[in-house]
């Protein structure tokens, strides 16, 4: 029999709390959870636009979307924050699509404007790669050379490719060495970037074992379009998948579905509040059952139930939330991702993830691991070695330092008080006069929510945070809690998982009202 009473220490009874008006919004969110709500991506939409006669309707709608979403500087991608990796692959993909399919004068003008923008962007992406190779978007070192080669064949970027590729050779060499002797199939994370094979390296792909049960390649629209053009032209299963994920406006997300990721992160955020509202807990139950149903005892979960590539990040956070509600999952599944010095996220990753290790730490805490547990000590050592300026962290899955730093405070406060105290001080020093937080020049609701979550958890466990700081931040967040939100998450492009961000905001406000 599964209990739905969360194991949250020090949660005050409802009679001692201030009035909370968040419950209707939380109920609405819990009823909307499904395959995942995500922003459209210029990169994947550009791939859909290339379908041409294979699916004229999808292609034409995507082409119209590209025409409507070219940025003011001529590039494509996320407008704010400006992230050079995102802009490079989005702009290259859009110009290639317009070259193949654009027939109007304005399409030629768009390509010319894209070329001028790319000239400026390439200088900056090289500097960004030099300063922090961990900040590259997913598959950037594998996808970009293929896009550059195709753009050069089309006469788009004549001899500019070296400037984009100069800093990628080392990262690409690392990834290719991990693939040595094996082809890309649906069980490995590289399938998500299978379009890197282009038209002339199809031999890298295990064609008969590449598609998933839903017809996609790695739950990636771009990789599935590539399969439907260059591998099995007009593949009906691939096209069926694409028709299910392309929006009515022609826009396409960079990944779909991501039903496990959405559920786990939403439930984890809301569970931090320690709510004892029986109606809300009943709304948790079908989502918890869904996660438990798709839990694999050996390797856990991936970001989607139909994903055959599992990962340590989704597995750890899912373990955390299932254990909080007393579901029978074993820690050995999380330990499956252990390496000599850290915990991996994916089997063939070229660089490690801070938050994947933090979420393993949260899983260890839910399993009752003591501070001297070898895995706990391994992660603390890894985190200490990767601190920036001795106070904060950056991660490859998110652009903001407040996301990994806040999650470390939440997961590690019982394991390394001093490390978390320094992180809390760093967070407090960066609170803006308005009350919010933001790492790109202005405060954002998402980053403010992460900081509020961390500060409230810290205060609940005896840390010193003034009430004025909390309430000033909560007041700002109340006024700026509605979407749209900036795209701060890192995938192949920057994106926003809207329901996940909303859950962090609701969680932060509920914690602040206790």
pTM reported for the whole predicted model:
0.92
CB 512 within 8 A of CB 471: yes
Q: Name residues whose C-beta falls within 8 Å of residue 82's C-beta, 6 or more positions apart in sequence.
A: none
Same fold flag, 14-37+258-512 and 42-245: yes
Q: Bigger pLDDT: 127 or 204? A: 204
Residue 417 pLDDT = 96
307-360: pLDDT as tens digits: 878 999 999 999 999 999 999 999 999 999 999 999 999 987 878 999 999 999
Residue 131 pLDDT = 55
Mean pLDDT of 263-275: 94
Distance CA 110, CA 108 (A): 5
The structural domains of the chain, with segments of one domain joined by +, span: 14-37+258-512, 42-245
Mean pLDDT of 63-90: 94
For 127, the token pair is 């500097």
Residue 172 pLDDT = 66
- Is 70 exceeded by the pLDDT of residue 198? yes
Distance CA 397, CA 211 (A): 25
Residue 1 pLDDT = 29
DSSP 3-state assignment of 99? Answer: helix
Q: What percent of the chain has pLDDT over 70?
A: 89
Q: What is the DSSP letter of 228?
A: I
Q: Angle at which helices 259-271 and 23-32 pack, to 10 degrees?
A: 160
14-37+258-512 CATH fold: Glycosyltransferase (1.50.10)
> Cα-atom radius of gyration of the chain, to the nearest Å?
23
User: Which one, of 325, 220, 243, lies nearest residue 57 by Cα?
Assistant: 243
Mean pLDDT of the chain: 90
CB 376 within 8 A of CB 369: yes
Residue 160 pLDDT = 54
Mean pLDDT of 59-72: 96
| Range with the largest mean pLDDT of 49-53, 81-85, 141-145 | 49-53
Residue 280 pLDDT = 84
Residue 16 pLDDT = 36
Residue 145 pLDDT = 87
CATH architecture for residues 42-245: Alpha/alpha barrel (1.50)
Distance CA 490, CA 313 (A): 14
DSSP string, 118-177: HHHHHHHHHHHHHH-GGGSPTTHHHHHHHHHHHHHHTTSSTT-HHHHHTTTHHHHHHHHH
């Amino acid at each position: 029999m599964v209990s739905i009473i969360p194991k949250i220490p020090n949660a005050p009874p409802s009679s001692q709390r201030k009035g909370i008006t968040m419950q209707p919004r939380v109920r609405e969110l819990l009823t909307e959870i499904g395959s995942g709500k995500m922003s459209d991506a210029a990169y994947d939409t550009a791939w859909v636009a290339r379908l041409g006669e294979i699916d004229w309707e999808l292609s034409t709608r995507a082409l119209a979307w590209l025409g409507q979403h070219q940025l003011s500087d001529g590039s494509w991608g996320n407008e704010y924050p400006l992230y050079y990796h995102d802009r490079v692959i989005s702009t290259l993909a859009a110009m290639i699509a317009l070259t193949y399919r654009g027939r109007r004068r304005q399409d030629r003008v768009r390509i010319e404007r894209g070329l001028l923008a790319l000239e400026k962007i390439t200088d900056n992406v090289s500097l960004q790669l030099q300063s922090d190779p961990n900040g590259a978007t997913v598959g950037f070192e594998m996808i970009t050379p293929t896009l550059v080669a195709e753009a050069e064949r089309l006469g788009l970027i004549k001899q500019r490719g070296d400037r984009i590729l100069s800093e990628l050779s080392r990262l690409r060499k690392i990834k290719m060495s991990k693939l040595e002797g094996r082809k890309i199939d649906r069980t490995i994370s590289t399938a998500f970037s299978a379009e890197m094979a282009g038209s002339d390296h199809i031999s890298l792909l295990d064609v008969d074992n590449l598609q998933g049960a839903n017809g996609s390649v790695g739950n990636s629209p771009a990789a599935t379009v590539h399969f439907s053009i260059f591998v099995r032209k007009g593949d009906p299963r691939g096209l069926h998948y694409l028709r299910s994920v392309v929006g009515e406006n022609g826009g396409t997300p960079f990944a779909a579905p991501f039903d496990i990721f959405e559920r786990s992160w939403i439930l984890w955020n809301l569970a931090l509040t320690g709510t004892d509202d029986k109606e809300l807990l009943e709304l948790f139950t079908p989502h918890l059952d869904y996660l438990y149903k798709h839990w694999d005892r050996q390797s856990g979960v991936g970001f989607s139930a139909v994903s055959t590539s599992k990962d340590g990040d989704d597995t750890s956070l899912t373990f955390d939330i299932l254990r909080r509600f007393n579901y029978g999952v074993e820690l050995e599944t999380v330990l499956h991702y252990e390496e000599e010095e850290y915990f991996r996220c994916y089997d063939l990753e070229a660089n490690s993830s801070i938050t994947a290790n933090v979420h393993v730490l949260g899983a260890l805490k839910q399993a009752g691991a003591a501070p001297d547990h070898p895995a706990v000590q391994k992660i603390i050592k890894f985190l200490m070695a990767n601190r920036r300026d001795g106070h904060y962290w950056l991660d490859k899955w998110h652009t903001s330092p407040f996301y990994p730093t806040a999650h470390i405070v939440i997961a590690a406060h019982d394991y390394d008080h001093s490390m978390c105290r320094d992180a809390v001080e760093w967070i407090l020093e960066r609170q803006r006069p308005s009350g919010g937080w933001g790492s790109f020049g202005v405060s954002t609701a998402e980053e403010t929510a992460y900081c509020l979550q961390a500060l409230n958890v810290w205060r609940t466990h005896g840390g010193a945070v003034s009430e004025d700081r909390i309430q000033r931040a909560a007041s700002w967040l109340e006024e700026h809690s509605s979407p749209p939100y900036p795209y701060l998450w890192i995938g192949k492009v920057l994106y926003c998982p809207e329901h996940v961000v909303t859950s962090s905001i609701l969680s932060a406000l509920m914690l602040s009202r206790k």
